[in-house]
Chain A
Amino acid sequence: MSDPYPRAPSTHVPVLRLGDVLLVTLQGDLHDSTAEQLQQDIGEAIARSSVSGVVIDISGVEIVDSFLGRVLAEIAAKARLLAAQTVVAGMRPAVAITLVELGLTLPGMRTALDAQDALGMLTRQAASSRPAHARQESP
């Protein structure tokens, strides 16, 4: 199988801010230590910039094992405690099939087909939550 992404394992994952959302793009093979570093970086970035959403694009990730699955679940849990929603975007079909057989269905994790859909989900949600919030405040 040809692979457009570099095979060298990445040692740092950039966390980009797009308005109210953090965008993280994972590519290739992630070392355990890189994944743990990322978990810490995202937590700090959410706290620092008070974003309302996190999009993790895994379309460039060839395998998700139980370790990386746990890291993704913990990022989502940490983000939720900091009032941010996490959406995992672009999971490859072969990865999804493998995760189910592995027994790792990541319940509670929101997913989208690609990063653009994920950003749309978070934007729509932000737009619809404002009037709802206003209604709750009215007597």
Chain B
Amino acid sequence: MLNPSLLQIASAFFFVIITLLILRTRKISREKELVIASGRMTLQLTLTGYILIFLFDHPHPLYSLAVILVMTVFAIHNIYARVKNPLSKSLKRIIALSMTLGTGFTVFYFMLVVVQVDPWYDPRYLVPIAGMLIGNAMTGISLGVTRLVTGISDNQSRIETALMLGATPRTATKEVVDHAFDAAIMPTINSMMGIGIVFLPGMMTGQILSGTSPVTAIEYQLIIMLGILGSVAFTTILFVELGYQTFFNKDQQLIEVN
């Protein structure tokens, strides 16, 4: 495939029109969202394209760090919006801290030890890799947050009983905390199971389509999946280990949860 022309791109919007027709004939009120989503997607990707071109032409560590920062902040807000349970201020702080430290560590390890590009901030590598690691950590931690909050609220009497019997808050919540961690990493483990057979991931497909050899594409896909596992695991373990503590006060009493 060569560079798609504008006309070719426009022809792909045929699928949007088909979907809109289905929605209209079936009277499913989702047309507005689809139109907005298509518009936003086009606009966001175009803007990102220009930003990437700018970054690639002017590589600078500060620009690269700024991109990581913007992605992280956006991901943190996305987590707050995604989780339906009310979140306390201190829990929100823990989410922000875990995302920053967990993904930060993984991205730098990945750039310096695994990929070893020179310079380390080369935006051609850093931006897409950081995007994938941060994006997946966001999905994982969102599941972890939901599980932790509902787990503590559903198991209030068990946790209180354990406390009455002299358990530390850590022991009293161990089961809930472990379930939250498990829920967060499960989707990553599942996609590692199915990858290459059930589906070809977007990054690999994109690379192959743009002319990279499948072997190189697969090598990258393999390391990126391992990186994703790391970023999900690091951010989530930080989150659950610090997060459960926000449900207790200094007297090791369970703070009332909704």
Partners in one complex: no
Please report A residues at the B interface, Cβ cutoff 8 Å: none
Please report B residues at the A interface, Cβ cutoff 8 Å: none
